Amino acid sequence: MTRRIVGISLKMYFGHARATEWFAQVASRVADSPAVMSGAVEVFVTPTFLQVPAAVTAFRGTPVRVGGQDVAAEAEGAYTGEVSAAELAEVGAGIAEIGHAERRRLFAETDVTVAQKTARSLEAGLEPLLCIGETEKQDPDVAAAVAVTQLRASLAGAPAGSVIVAYEPVWAIGAPAPAGEDHVRVVAAALRAALAGRPASAVIYGGAAKPGLLPRLGDAVDGVFLGRFAHDPDTLVDVIDEAAALAYQ
């Protein structure tokens, strides 16, 4: 069965009080969503590390999954400031976001680092959320080749297990509009083919994703990864409803 996924990253936009209020508002809305409560639409959120326990508590009683926005490349040890995959799982997280373009650009993360984090996450029972995307706008076939190469590097040495690939063209992150539908279809198809050996994996689109995009993409992707457009819970519900419409087709 095709997974229908709506994911949200809060990045570092919310303080703790605002995040806690947002969790409560979203939890109330998804509790009224038959599509979410039945599992027809999967919803996940990646808040800051400090907000993870509050999110787990707020979404208890719903199927909403909580994840970390990063994870350590090592299982344990003298790594000041790091958070291990095992600890994330221990406090109730189910997902680890790995390899986001901002972490590659600002913190010099490499494909090797991403692969280590992917392996640690799968070993701990977390589903990796692998952020994949070309840095410059390119022909779709070229972008697809870049994305597949990046995905294979991210999975190098990783144990078995499903992953969620968030295709986020770096040039579209924070842009006024997402990548074109035809562009996304070509890249997503290539990523799906590359995931053939990992059953239950999914490909979602991020990068200026907003209401109205998912109906246009249809079955080309399994869902969307939202950023600032999900800060308004009502807008988030609009996207969930779009995912539900596709799930019930």
Residue numbers annotated as active site: 100, 168
| 110/173 Cα distance (integer angstroms) | 19
Q: What is the dihedral of CA 132, 197, 218, 45, to 10 degrees?
A: -50
Per the listing, tokens 């399994």 go with 222
d(C-alpha 169, C-alpha 177), whole Å: 12
Cα-based distances in Å from 142 to 73, 147, 156, 187, 191: 30, 9, 21, 9, 13
Distance CA 55, CA 92 (A): 9
- Confirm if 222 and 185 have CB atoms less than 8 A apart: no
Contacts of residues 105-114 at CB distance under 8 Å and 24 or more positions apart, as own/partner, are 111/150, 111/153, 111/154, 111/156, 113/73, 114/153, 114/154
Positive or negative, the CA dihedral 7, 116, 82, 105 is: negative
CA distance 202 to 136: 24
